[in-house]
Amino acid sequence: MSSGFTTERRQSQRVALSGNFECRLDLRTRVRLLDISLSGALLAAELAVPAGATAQLRSGIGASAFRADVQIRRSLGLPAGVPVNGIGAMFMTMDERSRRSLEDFLRKASQ
């Protein structure tokens, strides 16, 4: 057993911060699109994402690229044994090209 001390690997000294420092850590993870509408999408992701978080969703919808800023509205329990998290996301903004692509995709999928 070790004595609780480990070899220091840092090349510079770490300094503890006093006060309130807010920062943002953008993570990338793969998500699977389970369903989609004009207002949002249901996703499955390996990482849990809390309600209220914002993200950018990028995908190919039909033959076109799709990109939208989303806000996570809820997390869902998926069936037991499924190693992913269900995420309900609402579209906040998207460019006109992405909106047209989504509308075309939904129109064709509903026929």
Q: How is the chain split into domains, by residue range?
A: 31-109
pTM across the whole model: 0.72
Q: Which fold has domain 31-109?
A: Thrombin, subunit H (2.40.10)
Task: Name the band, by pLDDT with cuts 50, 70 and 90, for residue 19.
Answer: confident
- DSSP letters spanning 72-88: EEEEEPPPTT--SEEEE
For 7, half-sphere exposure in the C-beta direction (CA atoms, 13 angstrom radius) is 1
Pairing of strands 31-36, 64-76: unpaired
Closest alpha carbon to 59 in 92, 105, 14, 107: 105
Mind listing the pLDDT tens digit for each residue in 34-83? Answer: 899 999 999 988 888 889 999 999 998 877 889 999 999 998 766 666 66
**What is the distance, to the nearest Å, from the Cα of residue 4 to the centroid of all Cα atoms in its chain?**
38
Give the whole-angstrom CA distance, residue 81 versus residue 55: 26
Question: Which two three-digit tokens encode residue 18?
Answer: 């006093």
Kindly give, in sequence order, each residue whose CB lies less than 8 Å from that of residue 42, ignoring residues fewer than 6 positions away.
33, 34, 35, 36, 76, 86, 87, 88, 89
